[in-house]
Chains A and B, each alone.
Chain A
Amino acid sequence: MIISIASGKGGTGKTLVATSLALSLKDKHKVQLLDCDVEEPNDHIFLKPVITRSEAVCIQTPKVDEEKCTYCGKCAEVCAYNAIAVFPGHVLVFPELCHGCGACSYLCPEKAVSEEGREIGVVEQGHAEGMEFAQGKLNVGEAMATPVIRKVKEQINHDGITIIDASPGTSCPVVEATKDSDFCLLVTEPTPFGLNDLVLAVEMVRELNIPLAVVLNRAGVGDNKVEVYCRKENIPILLTIPLDIEIARLYSRGVTLVQGMPQWQESFIGLFDKIREMVDERSRSLKR
């Protein structure tokens, strides 16, 4: 089962939920945690994984052999990202604009365009606390997060529980991280910003046709409008974590909630049981 953790607004507690959920389940299940927030991966700070394998993520960018090139301009014509410009007697490639689709190389009539890998990030694999762990890291200065996320998701093994920690927002990196999940947990806080971004995140997850529920973090701060919204939209709030300075202090020191306060483990196991019920219910209704 693949469970993704997303939020809309940043800093609502995705990492807290992802790490504590994974740790709470690892004794009874085969668990893997994938940190797909490749712009700012933080799970490793809390889990201190042992990294055993590291692999570069490369985008295939064009390399033009000017011996063979006739400057016909076909490559520039087919490139949707303006990553190649052809001048009489010269071809310019802008690698940072290239999405690596391969059209230029395939369609070059002279077979003058080959491809070479350009590193944009890295995927690291290893283990932490008896769980499989993997994370992606986008190189500083690189723009495209989705190829790195795709590569991290290649590590998914389908025989246990996979927990995916996504990035904040609702655009392509979050879509890439959450799509194909069996379930999506949206972590929010009871504030106007939390609600505004939750509504956007719910629209996104519904667009992807993934069952979802909410974890309400820092309950007690702000107002009750998130609860009102969830009731109206029929979205269950599966776990409520109160505003607690002790929890904030643990987080600031890089200690997971269930390791700092083991009494929380039961709540996270309960959270998983409810997720499993919702996923089972969903697959029954799809079969009908």
Chain B
Amino acid sequence: MKEVVVLSGKGGTGKTSIVGSLAALAKNKVLADCDVDAADLHLLLEPVIKQKHEFWSGQVAVIDEEKCTQCGLCQELCRFKAIEDFKVDPVSCEGCGFCFHICPAEAVTMKENLSGHWFISDTKYGSLVHARLGIAQENSGKLVALVRQQAKLMAEKEGADCIISDGPPGIGCPVISSLSGASLALLVTEPTLSGIHDLERVLGVCRHFDIPALVCINKYDINQENTRQIESYCSSQGVEVASKIPFDNMVTEAMVQGLPVVEYSDNSVSREINLLWQNISRFLSKN
């Protein structure tokens, strides 16, 4: 079974709009939203939630005021500056438990932390595994890994050919967690200097983890010179530009209607995304 993850480095280049359309075009697949701290794919797919699960991850230290002798050792040793005035700031606490282990008065306990929820849903395009990280929570990488694992189980159960994942922006922990072991990364970029800079970094991450990549230049006609620069960069890196999608306000109109753009209207954007899906399919069948 193949797994395509859509990444971008820079945020707001159009990952989710494209995944929404791929969801409508791909036949036998499971969908996963790996952008767990700002998930948007559900806005296009109208999921009906079938299962809701709690995501418990990591711990937070709590100091018992009654037992605390205010010796200050925990404050001195905590490297995350999470303890002040003999109280733990749960937002700064990374749950390492150092304070728990060293407290001479045994005043520290480690409390399990409810970090979010994950869901299995039905959509008109197939099953969707998605999640919501709790507010100001850590461990988004672990939640992403869980979403992918569940999507794989679902795909095996349904006999799906592939998983299409909407990834998070950036290059850090949730991105690495979305990417490792995938069959293909589709990198969506835009012809801005920021877009190019961020594409180079996310392509570096793909290289680092040895994941093949295809590039899609979204809104390519906003700056044709930058588009040419991206094309020559990709060719120098031996990476194929699988699609160039023109700018069209239709994409936002479709989003406002809660529809993937290929379902909203037949226009140049829809035709280009169709072509993109053919290129992805060809790549997956060859590799």
Contacts and interface: CB of A to CB of B under 8 A. Distances in A.
A207 B79 CA distance: 23
Nearest to B208: A141
A80 B96 contact: yes
B46 to A, nearest CB: 12
B38 interface: yes
Interface stretch (A9-17, A65-73, A266-274, A276-284): A9-17
Nearest to B38: A197
14 contacts: A9-B11, A11-B12, A39-B172, A40-B170, A106-B98, A106-B102, A143-B173, A144-B173, A168-B12, A171-B37, A171-B133, A172-B140, A196-B43, A252-B190
B115 to A, nearest CB: 10
Contacts of B47: none
Interface string B220-238: 0011001000000000000
B49 interface: no
A45 interface: yes
Interface of B: 8-13, 16, 35-38, 40, 43, 58-59, 77, 79-80, 91-92, 94-98, 101-102, 133, 135-138, 140-141, 168-177, 190-194, 197-198, 201, 204-205, 208-209, 222-223, 226, 249, 252, 255-256, 258
B192 A8 contact: no
A9 B252 CA distance: 15
- If over half of B's interface residues share one DSSP class (helix, strand or loop), that class is named, otherwise mixed; here it is loop
A170 B136 contact: yes
A22 interface: no
B136 A251 contact: no
A181 B8 CA distance: 28
B178 to A, nearest CB: 12
A222 B191 contact: no
Given A78-B98, A172-B140, 17 more contacts: A45-B197, A101-B96, A140-B205, A143-B173, A144-B173, A145-B173, A168-B11, A168-B12, A171-B36, A171-B37, A191-B256, A207-B136, A252-B190, A252-B192, A252-B222, A253-B226, A254-B192
A151 to B, nearest CB: 13
B208 A200 contact: no
Contacts of B59: 80
Nearest to A78: B101
A175 B140 CA distance: 13
Contacts of B133: 170-171
A221 interface: yes
B177 to A, nearest CB: 8
Interface string A111-135: 0000000000000000000000000
A205 to B, nearest CB: 9
A223 B253 CA distance: 9
Contact of A106 (B9, B77, B190): B77
A63 interface: no
Interface residues of A, number: 61
Given A42-B194, A145-B172, A191 B136 contact: no
Nearest to B96: A101
B132 to A, nearest CB: 8
A144 B176 CA distance: 10
Interface in A1-47: 7-12, 15, 38-40, 42, 45
B96 A141 contact: no
Contact of B138 (A15, A171, A203): A171
Contacts of B204: 140-141
Contacts of B249: 221
Nearest to A140: B204
A170 B249 CA distance: 27
Nearest to B42: A196
Contacts of A12: 11-12
A140 B91 contact: no
Given A140-B171, A170-B38, A223 B256 contact: yes
Contact of B193 (A10, A39, A245, A254): A254
Contacts of B205: 140-141
B12 A10 contact: yes
A141 B101 CA distance: 32
B10 A170 contact: no
Contacts of A207: 91, 135-136
A102 B255 contact: no
B39 to A, nearest CB: 8
Contacts of A78: 97-98, 101
A208 interface: yes
A100 interface: yes
A248 interface: yes
B182 to A, nearest CB: 15
Contacts of A15: 194
A138 interface: yes
Contact of B91 (A7, A8, A9, A175): A175
B97 A40 contact: no
